[in-house]
Amino acid sequence: MTSNEVLAMYENVATLTNNMVMAARASDWESLGRLENQTAVATATVAAGATVAPLEGAARQRKIDLLKQILANDRAVRDVTEPWLNRIPGMPQ
């Protein structure tokens, strides 16, 4: 993957995870599940071991910023969903 492709993938995942936060906060579980699947598809290339060009300078910093945003979005989704999941009998804690 070129540096532009890498950044485009992270931009896409950041957008998808932001949409996941909004869906979770709205208790729109159907949309949340759909977005989760889209995120998995969007990252499948990297997860499958695709060669990713190392980034430098501003591109590297942008990737770091996007990763921080994605992780913050993941935490926000978990903040909404974990209490709900903990109320379901038989769900592992």
Judge whether 42 and 12 are in contact, CB under 8 Å.
yes
pLDDT digits (tens, 9 = 90+) for 15-55: 999 999 999 999 999 999 999 999 999 988 776 767 877 89
Record the pTM. 0.85
- Angstrom distance (rounded) from CA 21 to CA 35: 10
Residue 12 belongs to some domain of the structure: yes
How does residue 5 score in pLDDT terms, banded at 50, 70 and 90? confident
pLDDT digits (tens, 9 = 90+) for 68-89: 999 999 999 999 998 877 777 7
- Position 93 scores a pLDDT of 56
For residue 32, the enclosing domain spans 3-86
CATH of the domain at 58: 1.20.58.380
**Residue in the block written with tokens 């209490």:** 83
Residue 73 belongs to some domain of the structure: yes
Structural domain count, the chain: 1
The full length of the chain comes to 93
Residue 91 belongs to some domain of the structure: no
